[in-house]
């Protein structure tokens, strides 16, 4: 797949994430996908496998009462199957408001997401929100 096709796949993935469309996400993520979330929060981990990754996404929604959003600003791709999504993560939880810029470096193979690695502008704010 070329960079334009991979960008289109990731646009679908962001749309599905923000609308809670698990069926589409299941189709877009490879069964062996790994999701890397840095930090010291209770959410920080390497989620191994599609099911673990989608369960993590479910926790984001559940723990924020459905307010969590990844507000996409830009997608860019190379010819090696990598796509970078730049977005703002926003949510409300227990009287706290989250609003941090971050990006995710995705790796795709044969039209499916095999890896996602998050990078935060302010990892301390992310960790504090989940504490």
CATH of the domain at 35: 3.10.450.50
Torsion sign over Cα 117, 18, 58, 24: negative
Number of structural domains in the chain = 1
User: How far from the centroid of its chain's Cα atoms is residue 107's Cα?
Assistant: 12
> What's this model's pTM, rounded to 2 decimal places?
0.94
User: Which residue range is the domain that position 59 belongs to?
Assistant: 3-130
Q: What are phi and psi of 41, to 5 degrees?
A: -75, 170
pLDDT at residue 68 in the model: 98
What whole-number distance in Å separates Cα of residue 131 and Cα of residue 24? 30
pLDDT at residue 1 in the model: 76
Q: Which residues of the chain fall short of a pLDDT of 70?
A: none
Q: What is the pLDDT of residues 92-120, one digit of tens each?
A: 999 999 999 999 999 999 999 999 999 99
What whole-number distance in Å separates Cα of residue 26 and Cα of residue 55? 11
What whole-number distance in Å separates Cα of residue 61 and Cα of residue 27? 20
């Amino acid at each position: 797949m070329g960079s334009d096709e991979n960008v289109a796949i990731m646009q679908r993935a962001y749309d599905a994430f923000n609308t809670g469309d698990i069926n589409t996400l299941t189709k877009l993520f490879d069964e062996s996908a790994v999701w890397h979330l840095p930090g010291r929060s209770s959410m920080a981990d390497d989620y191994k496998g599609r099911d673990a990754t989608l369960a993590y996404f479910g926790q984001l929604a559940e723990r924020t009462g459905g307010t969590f959003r990844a507000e996409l600003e830009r997608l860019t791709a190379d010819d090696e199957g990598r796509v970078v999504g730049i977005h703002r993560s926003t949510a409300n939880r227990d009287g706290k408001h989250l609003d941090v810029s971050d990006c995710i470096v995705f790796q795709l193979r044969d039209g499916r997401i095999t890896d996602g690695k998050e990078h935060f502008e302010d990892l301390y704010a992310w960790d504090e929100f989940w504490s």
